[in-house]
Chains A and B, each alone.
Chain A
Amino acid sequence: MKTGRAVLRDGRTAWGLALLGGMALVAILAPVLAPFNPIAQHDILATRFLAPFTRDPSGAMHWLGTDNLGRDLLSRLLYGARISLSVGLLAAGLAAAIGTVIGAVAALAGGAVERALMALTDGLLALPRLVLLLAMVAFLTPSFGLIVVIIGATGWMSIARLARAEVHGLLARPFVDAARVAGATPVRLLFRHLLPNALTPILVAAALGVANAIGLEAGLAFLGMGVPAPAPSWGNMIATGRDALVQAPWLATIPGLAIVLAVIACNLVADGVREA
């Protein structure tokens, strides 16, 4: 188990956490920071497709320009961070929780239970996640909660495999026998002795899970199957920009850069924690 300080001393983790923290702060402060209402449409014909760093007829500055309905891109980007980051964190958290429980239960139970749980894990892991997500949104109505649940429910498998391997490794250690002899119940054993010691690899996988979840949420939104409009999400902003790719290339490219930045931040954290 690495100490928090050793992890932070690794430059990558510090950078990654600073990036993520900055983005989270911006998302939380969006109502204060955003210069405009992200979904309000005023004089569409006069204010749409303004290039970055231009002023609209009322003299207000649009730092990143405006979209096809005259909505301020910067404001939408800031509000979009709320959906993208919260779906990413919640879905990855859900996946980590499911995966840890399934992996740990499999390792502790052993026998047929373990074989069944791992067959389920390997089976789901072998399927294209996007195809699973599409099959689900095809017949359910997308909402914030549904997107979190389905991304979380299709992302726990690699964590379950990790958790199982870690718990198996720990079960062979003397301190586990000692805890057993001292009368620890399986639940206490799991939460007090096994999981705290298996935390590092699970955290690494969870950080990568956040990156995947952000990408998938944006992808579903891009395909028009994400959190419903007019709520801004980085994915549906790219989809909007796609229809005006030549006329207003900043509309599709800038939200994509935000996704790239978030994914890089998660990978930096994961790399740093793994090698610290």
Chain B
Amino acid sequence: MARRVVLRLLTGLALVLAVVTATFLLINLAPGDPARLWVGPGAGAAELAAARHALGLDRPLLVRYLAWLGHFVTGDWGTSLVLGRPVRQVLLDALPYTLLLSAASLAVTYVGGIIVGIAQAVKRGTAADTLLTVATLAVYGMPSYWLGLVLVLVFAYVAARHGWPAWLQLPALGASGIDAAFLSPWGKLVDRVRHLALPLATLGAIGIAGTARFVRGAAVDVERQDYVRTARAKGLAPHVIELRHVLRNALLPVITLLGLSLPALFSGTVFVETIFAWPGMGRTLVSAVSARDYPVVLAATAVYAVLVVLGNLLADVLYAVADPRLRREGA
């Protein structure tokens, strides 16, 4: 197991290196001059040359790459061209928000998706199963940026216009209210949860639908196995069969899905953070891309790669915990 983890970490490290190298090359080979963008259209040739020198753009590509890489691995990610702040600070400020949103939506997605999927597998072929199959497919097909807008429309505007109960009138923008600094700790928590509600509902609904579709498939496969038939034949109670024989085996592919779904989850957070002005990495990345703020784009891409590598490692460890066969192999 330990060897496996180390191997995973090393391949992960290679992946992150490959990503930052590719992004670096893309940035430097693409048409368009960051220095020109930095000084603005009114600048003369001398100013442009000074800016190119200040940004280090007048040195050969390989030299720039090695210098940049040296800074990058030591945690010096440069200064944002737009915000004028250290990139590391910009991203460190945003990271907790993305982690909160991602972790909460992972939890909601898996708990909800497993419950719905197993329930469907147990009741498969019934009208309820068909209805849920159609519903999960429809929700799964919704783009997150669209579902987010619909939820804003309902819970921010319609709710206010029709005087719905206060807990159903939810904030549509930001991660905390304008008065958050003056609230008690408990009030702050309530404020944060209320701001989290719509972004989380957006990612959670789509995630639950996708996971339920997957879990139902996995559980139906397990139901067809010989050992389930044997369990039935020897007269075990249905709930014992479902919990001990079906659920446990159906969850193995779900853990693999956990690792595989992380990239999609982060893609989803980029949209949702943009819709709800959630001050996380995704929103930072989108505004950096719009403004061609290349140090931020580079570093944000790298941080996403690191998050995915760590997430996959976690899924690997979980898988080994859940599947005794992997542990025994001593791999």
| Chain B interface SS verdict (over half) | helix
The residue that A259 contacts in the complex, of B27, B146, B274, with Cβ under 8 A, is B146
> Does B18 reach chain A (CB closer than 8 Å)?
yes
- Residues in chain B near residue A218, CB distance under 8 A: 143
Tell whether, in the assembled complex, residue A131 and residue B138 are in contact, meaning their CB atoms are under 8 Å apart: no
Q: How far is the CB of A261 from chain B (nearest CB, A)?
A: 8
Q: Which residues on the A side are within 8 Å of B289 (C-beta)?
A: 134-135, 137-138, 223, 225
From B147, B270, B275, contact of A130 by CB (8 A):
B270
CB atoms of B141 and A263 under 8 A apart:
yes
Known: A128-B264, A135-B301. A256 touches B312 (CB 8 A): no
Does B308 sit within 8 A of A, measured CB to CB?
A: yes
B304 close to A (CB within 8 Å): yes
A246 with B143: in contact, given A125-B263, A128-B308, A267-B137 (CB under 8 Å)?
no
Contact A130 B271 (CB under 8 A): yes
Closest to B289 in A: A138
**Residues in chain A near residue B14, CB distance under 8 A:** 123
The stretch that binds A, out of B41-49, B79-87, B149-157, is B149-157
Chain B residues whose C-beta falls within 8 Å of the C-beta of A260 in the assembled complex: 138, 141-143, 146
Q: Is the CB of B18 within 8 A of A126?
A: no
- What distance in Å separates the Cβ of B65 from its nearest Cβ neighbour in chain A? 16
Q: Which of A139, A242, A260, A268 has the most CB of B within 10 A?
A: A139
Number of chain B residues close to chain A: CB under 8 A: 50
Which residues of B lie under 8 Å from residue A225 when comparing CB positions? Answer: 289-290
Contact of B274 with A223 in the complex, beta carbons under 8 Å: yes
> Shortest beta-carbon distance, B106 to chain A, in Å?
14
The answer to whether the Cβ of B292 comes within 8 Å of any Cβ in the partner chain is yes
- A224 interfacial by beta-carbon distance below 8 Å: yes
Contact with B along A107-121 (1 / 0, CB 8 A): 000000000000100
Closest partner residue, chain B, to A214 (CB atom): B143
Selected from A134, A137, A224, A249, the residue in CB contact (under 8 A) with B153 is: A249
Number of A-B residue pairs having CB atoms within 8 Å of each other in the complex: 136
Bound-state CA distance A218–B32 (Å) is: 25
Tell me, in angstroms, the Cα distance from A139 to B157 when the chains sit together: 37
A37 within 8 A of B: no
CB-nearest residue of chain B to A224: B290
In contact, B150 and A131 (Cβ under 8 angstroms): no
Interface residue? B19 (CB, 8 A): yes
Asked if A192 is at the interface (CB within 8 A of a chain B CB), the reply is no
Cβ < 8 Å to A, chain B residues 138-173: 138, 140-143, 145-147, 149-150, 152-153, 157
Question: A139 touching B292 by the CB < 8 A rule?
Answer: yes
Contact of A127 among B30, B31, B149, B263 (CB under 8 A): B263
Residue of B at shortest CB range from A134? B289
Given A139-B26, A238-B146, A249-B153, verify A267-B15 contact (CB < 8 Å).
Answer: no
B152, A135: Cβ atoms under 8 Å? Answer: no
Which chain B residue lies CB-closest to A131? B304
Interface contacts beyond A129-B267, A135-B26: sample of 7 additional A-B pairs, CB < 8 Å, sorted by A: A139-B30, A223-B271, A238-B143, A242-B149, A245-B153, A263-B141, A264-B137
The 3 nearest A-B residue pairs measured at CB: A256-B146, A139-B30, A263-B141
Residues of B within 8 A of A (CB): 11, 14-15, 18-19, 23, 26-27, 30-32, 137-138, 140-143, 145-147, 149-150, 152-153, 157, 260, 262-264, 266-267, 270-271, 274-275, 285-286, 288-290, 292, 294, 297, 300-301, 304-305, 308-309, 312
